[in-house]
Amino acid sequence: MEQQTAMIGAIVAAGRAWRDPAYPARVEAVRRTLEARNRFTDAALTFAVNQQMHLLTRKALERWGSGHWASRPVTVGVLNAGNVPLAGLQDLLAVLLTGHRYFGTTSSKSPFLLPAFAEEIVRTLKEAPVQFGPVEALWSQAEAVIATGGDETRAWAIEQCEALAIPPDHCLLRGHRFAVAVIDGKERTQERDNLAEDALLHEGYGCRNVALIWAPEGTSPDPYLEAFAVFRSVFPPHPRTPGTLKMQQAFLKAVDLPHAYGEGLEFLLSKGPPEVQRPGHIRWVEYADLEDVCSWLKAHENALQFVAARPALAAQLPDHLPLTSPGEAQRPPLDWQPDGQDTVAFLAGL
């Protein structure tokens, strides 16, 4: 398809330009983003942009979008989250690769990165069906909707779609999700380091961040805490993170719940029941029998973005769950399926 080939070429060119940390458009977008009210750090933001730009190869884009070009384009309204840098990039690319028109909103936490990269595509292609604007304008134009956010955002989007008579098969709505890790104490140093990245990068605000770590009873958390400390030496926390964790630490002390933390409260880990805590606060959950973990995972699978475990251990977990190895949480492939939903397949079916 000639149009899709041209679109892929424009995306590849934009990605190639943005791989350069000194590229002016990227520098300006990053500068403005770091000034917004979010929990992004320079190091984590640089990591996220570099990681995603290197995914944008011609081969990967062709494999992902091949054979999916709309015969009747529609305007797809996309409500973007702002919890991690470049959140919403996959949705933008998926809409463009399938030949639809894109109308996006941005979060006040990250209003600059995604529009700046979209402008790069438009500039390379000379024209592209991309527009950003307020939520009100989105609902007045959208013929299909993709929304990402918490459960409240999802419920609100459902109400809006119903009020505007947008059919359910034209709505891809994602709610709150989190990731967990299952360990057995046999993790190697690199796997522990990878787990630290899965849990702590982006201050725990991503839906792919590990929020719970299931560990066999009696397993010492010390090697994992050491990995957390090493990670924080490379990716320092956001200045507001220690203050947030201090309040949670005070609560843990008040209820006498065992916990450990990094020097300067750079991270916080507590031992207790499998309950997701505030972002950046990791819960260490002990298990006596792996079958108990499997039962819990099955019961909560609708809330899980994925389960991280080393390969030998993952083979003992329910294979219908989204399983991955430690270190892949913040490095999702281009065609990953948020909430288990295939974005390109959804768009191709409009």
The pLDDT of residue 109: 95
Residues 171, 145 contacting (CB under 8 angstroms):
yes
Residue 124: pLDDT band (50, 70, 90) is confident
- In 165-317, the DSSP E strands lie at 171-174, 178-182, 210-216, 259-261, 268-271, 281-287, 304-308
Pick the CATH number of 178-324 from 3.40.50.970, 3.30.70.100, 3.40.309.10, 3.40.50.2000: 3.40.309.10
Q: Please determine, for residue 127, whether its predicted confidence score (pLDDT) is greater than 90.
A: no
Distance CA 334, CA 60 (A): 8
Domain spans of the chain, in order of start: 2-176, 178-324
The pLDDT of residue 126: 82
The pLDDT of residue 16: 97
Q: DSSP letter for 203, please.
A: G
Distance CA 231, CA 40 (A): 16
pTM listed for this prediction: 0.95
- Give the CB-side neighbour count of residue 136, counting CA atoms within 13 A: 0
**In terms of Cα–Cα distance, which of 103, 79, 85 is closest to 33?**
85
Arithmetic mean of pLDDT, 182-205: 98
Arithmetic mean of pLDDT, 138-162: 94
Residue 171: pLDDT band (50, 70, 90) is very high
Arithmetic mean of pLDDT, 68-72: 92
Distance CA 252, CA 175 (A): 28
Rounded-to-10 torsion of CA 132, 136, 140, 141: 10
User: pLDDT tens, 9-46?
Assistant: 999 999 999 999 999 999 999 999 999 999 999 999 99
User: pLDDT tens, 101-117?
Assistant: 999 999 999 999 999 99
Q: Please determine, for residue 1, whether its predicted confidence score (pLDDT) is greater than 80.
A: no
- Calculate the average pLDDT of the chain: 96
The pLDDT of residue 80: 96
Arithmetic mean of pLDDT, 79-96: 96
The pLDDT of residue 128: 78
The pLDDT of residue 227: 98
Q: Please determine, for residue 310, whether its predicted confidence score (pLDDT) is greater than 80.
A: yes
Q: Please determine, for residue 203, whether its predicted confidence score (pLDDT) is greater than 80.
A: yes
Q: Which whole-number Å values give the CA distances from 236 to 11, 204, 223, 321, in the listed order?
A: 32, 13, 19, 32
Fold: same for 2-176 and 178-324: no
The pLDDT of residue 54: 97
Residues 203, 280 contacting (CB under 8 angstroms):
yes
Q: Please determine, for residue 67, whether its predicted confidence score (pLDDT) is greater than 90.
A: no
SS3 assignment, position 23: coil
> Which numeric CATH code is attached to 2-176?
3.40.605.10
Distance CA 46, CA 151 (A): 29
Distance CA 113, CA 293 (A): 39
Distance CA 198, CA 192 (A): 10
Residues 49, 75 contacting (CB under 8 angstroms):
no
The pLDDT of residue 161: 96
The pLDDT of residue 192: 98
Rounded percentage of the chain residues whose pLDDT exceeds 70:
100
The pLDDT of residue 32: 98
Write out the two tokens for 236: 């320092």
The pLDDT of residue 2: 87
